[in-house]
Structure 1
Amino acid sequence: MWLARATVGCFLLLVAGHGAPAGARPSDAQARVEEFEVAGIPVLLRRIEANEVIAVKLFIRGGTANLTPRTAGIERFLFAASERGTEKYAKDLWYARLASTGTRVAGAAGYDFSTFSMETVLGSWDEAWDLYTQALLRPTLPPSEVELVRGQILNSVRQRRDDPDAYMRDLADSLFYQGHPYALNPEGTEAAIADISVDDLRAWHDRRLTKDNLLLVVVGNVGRGDLESRVEAALGDLPETGDAGRPVNRAPARSAAVAVVERRLPTNYVRGLFPAPSLGDEEDYAALTAAMEVLSNRLFEEVRTKRNLTYAVFSGLSARLSNYGLLYVTAVQPDSALSVMLAEVRKLRDEPLSEDVLAAAVSVFVTEYYQGLESNEAQASLLGRFELLGGSWKEAEDFV
């Protein structure tokens, strides 16, 4: 019988930070971001004329800090049910118009914020904005459709138990963030999803969709005047305040803990978490990002390539307000794999990195960073994340 392990510990990594090269100039992209308010709602607009795609992402502050065990998953539930009919469009018509205009609308619930997003093309901008704002502001939440959505979410929640990686993520979070808002999963639990009513969804919509909770980010070939008029008309009458997003403190320090779950699986899954700086801790976060890039490369070389102990091993860094770094491996012989991994962690802690090794790691990271920003939607996500978690959207440009 193999074991699925979730390990929560603390690792000390001492990494020298490196500043920007001498003579580095600010990115031209930063100058193209306009920051303004419309009817009390903060807006970021990056105008891109090189393609026809328009990405709209509305950030709703709060995340799990606004949840209780009874409401875990409610924003995910609300977003999904909002697509099942609006005051203007019946469900089938709404989906048909999405398809005919090449528009995608999606909601996502997260630990620090939730998002309600749209991607469309310039030629469909007028109709797509109407479809998007109808689902956002005027969902009818038909009880029969709500029940269908409930069943789909419940199935998804149950499947997390059957997926070793998903189950281990949940278990590790519950240990690492015990007593912290992040211990609640924004995707929901069976008990909470089963108990949330249509009235709960409507009340949540009214309390959370208020101007003080919102940040709108748009990336695409849209003029400021056009966007201002649309936002004013659609969102200008929203309440000024409501159930405001609550502040999130760092997770309390705790002793290392280990949870072992026995399952009949062909391999073992191990996930270790440790406290880490957040996006707002700019220099430390950048240094640890480079360290995790170096460590991940070394783990792959030593654990997989040289010893063939695994098909998946890596280190990484999350991007939450109360943040963590992680080590991960899946292995038939976990003790052997973990022994090699620990040796590499100690090596990174104790031995200074050469300039060549660090430069190579930074180069790979920067390349992947910009590759990940090729879509307008990805750029909107990055701007919003840094604005809410990193102090300012400007830090997204300075980070690399």
Structure 2
Amino acid sequence: MKIQRYIFVMLLVSLSLGVQARNSVKEMTVNGLKVVFMPSSKQTVAAIMFFKGGTANYDEKQQGIGALTLAATSDCGTQKYAKDAFKNMADKYGVSVSGSAGYDYSSISLECVKPYFSEGWKLFSEAVNHPVFEKKELGLLKQKLIAGIQNRKSNPDNTLSDMCMKNTFQGTRYAYQVPGTVETMKAFTQDDVKNYYNKLLNANKMVLVIVGNLKEQDIRKMVEKDFGNLPSTPVEPMPAAIATTIDTNSLNTESRKLSTNYIQGMLGAPAFTSPDSYAFRLAFNILRNKLFEEVRTKRNLSYAPQAFSSTGFIPYSAVYVTTTKPNEAVTVMVNEMDTLKNDGFTDVDLRNSKSEYTTYYFMGKQSTYNTAYSLGVAKIKGSIDMTTHFIDHIDAVTLAQMQKIFSQYVDGINWNYLGDESVIDKDVFNRKVK
């Protein structure tokens, strides 16, 4: 009883904090730059500069240009700080400044404690405004990233993930390898990197998010001072969010001698702009729990079966398993999807899934960086409402809505298999969810 009471009290506190956070988020435009600020009582500060577009900003021949360029903003020195001086200052004050790239956006982020926010902001604004991409340091960074690409190929999970994206999204930008290939990475020059970053450095392509124990007026002054003169030219709009449908089954295999076999089935998903997107996420959370029970607990066919959905501009969902008995494991997974598709969801399933999502949401908000990241992604997608009112959207999902949307997107599965090809029965993988 005491434990239940404690959980209930903590949930009330979390919900109260959620309402406070929702009401305190401020949106402003400073000299053309969209800024989202959320005050926090925590003593850690996060600032993230997002650049819209991701893989939409380059073609197939430039796979990896985003990863190289964004990493170089903090790794290859700035006009004011050479590489070693930048690193020494970051180490001295416990500041982290780093760049990363993805399918729909890239970013440069700052994490630090409040007492050293001023020092962190200096490094952050330098990395955004004045990276120099020093030729020697850029060459060393390229070698490091090439080694990472080569190591990535030796990891079965990474190989499987690349197979899934390439085979499912062939002909689209989601088939690109964001880290790049050895060939593309070797070919990039200093001018390539500079030209690419100059295209990104445009107030109309950028969103700045700051979360921390700071004052709005101070934030506005800092942004005006350090980002008030950004270039501002017309840009192409972000690619429209779409739904992904997969109507037929397919099987893509790659032979590799491994201690177990790696399998992932790719399925469709609704556009993140659809209200049904929240219902679909709840459904796949339920499927994940069902697979854990049926595949692992009851039959011991795998250590960690998974089901998940992705809410990018080109969405998808997936089921995943590693197993020495691929035919048995896939059969159980398809059986479970069969059951759920045919009115298999229950009120208890939905209630438990909503509870889990509420827990995930508030646990994620314990980090200022995670909070800033989710606000930025939501802003890029169209509205911070997607994160500030996330629990409201989840709570509004009905059983009938969840049942309908799940049934709509599990018709076909693009199976991807890495391991011993001699043990698989293709008929098992060709069986559709009915």
**Under a length normalisation based on structure 1, what TM-score does the superposition of the two structures give?**
0.90
CA distances 1:101-158 after superposition (whole Å, capped 9, x unpaired): 1111111101010111001122112111111111221122211111100001101111
The answer to whether 1:286 aligns with 2:286 is no
User: Match for residue 309 of structure 1?
Assistant: 301
User: Match for residue 270 of structure 1?
Assistant: 263
Residue identity opposite 1:147 in structure 2: G
Whole-angstrom distance in 2 between the partners of 1:73 and 1:166 = 16
CA contact (8 A) 1:177 1:251 kept: no
1:348 to 1:251, Cα distance in 2 relative to 1, 3 A: closer
User: Match for residue 337 of structure 1?
Assistant: 329
C-alpha displacement of 1:79:
2.0
C-alpha displacement of 1:253:
5.0
Report 1:1-400 matches (<5 A): 27-48=19-40, 50-83=41-74, 84-241=76-233, 244=236, 246-248=238-240, 250=242, 255-281=248-274, 283-389=275-381, 391-400=382-391
RCO higher in structure (CA 8 A, sep ≥6): 1
Residue identity opposite 2:81 in structure 1: Y
Whole-angstrom distance in 1 between the partners of 2:389 and 2:117 = 31
Q: Over aligned residues, Cα RMSD in angstroms?
A: 1.7
CA distances 1:67-106 after superposition (whole Å, capped 9, x unpaired): 2122211121112222221111121111111011111111
Whole-angstrom distance in 1 between the partners of 2:90 and 2:235 = 31
Whole-angstrom distance in 1 between the partners of 2:280 and 2:198 = 40
Whole-angstrom distance in 2 between the partners of 1:151 and 1:141 = 15
SS in structure 1 opposite 2:62? Answer: coil
Whole-angstrom distance in 2 between the partners of 1:312 and 1:253 = 26
User: Match for residue 14 of structure 1?
Assistant: none
CA contact (8 A) 1:268 1:332 kept: yes
Whole-angstrom distance in 2 between the partners of 1:33 and 1:114 = 22
- Choose between structure 1 and 2: higher helix proportion: 2
Whole-angstrom distance in 2 between the partners of 1:253 and 1:294 = 21
CA distances 1:151-179 after superposition (whole Å, capped 9, x unpaired): 01101111121111101111110111111
Q: Percent identity?
A: 32
Residue identity opposite 1:293 in structure 2: N
C-alpha displacement of 1:393:
0.3
Residue identity opposite 1:65 in structure 2: A
C-alpha displacement of 1:352:
4.0
Whole-angstrom distance in 2 between the partners of 1:87 and 1:214 = 21
SS in structure 2 opposite 1:80? Answer: helix
C-alpha displacement of 1:239:
1.0
SS in structure 2 opposite 1:247? Answer: coil
CA contact (8 A) 1:58 1:216 kept: yes
CA distances 1:166-198 after superposition (whole Å, capped 9, x unpaired): 011111101111111111122111111111100
CA contact (8 A) 1:267 1:332 kept: yes
Whole-angstrom distance in 1 between the partners of 2:222 and 2:67 = 26
C-alpha displacement of 1:394:
1.5
C-alpha displacement of 1:65:
1.1
- Which structure 1 residue ranges, 4+ long, deviate > 4 Å from structure 2? 242-246, 251-255
CA contact (8 A) 1:66 1:246 kept: no
C-alpha displacement of 1:243:
5.7
1:191 to 1:251, Cα distance in 2 relative to 1, 3 A: farther
Structure 1's unaligned 5+ residue stretches are 1-23
User: Match for residue 5 of structure 1?
Assistant: none
Structure 2's unaligned 5+ residue stretches are 1-14, 392-434
C-alpha displacement of 1:228:
1.3
SS in structure 1 opposite 2:63? Answer: coil
1:252 to 1:279, Cα distance in 2 relative to 1, 3 A: closer
Residue identity opposite 2:124 in structure 1: Y
CA contact (8 A) 2:264 2:318 kept: yes
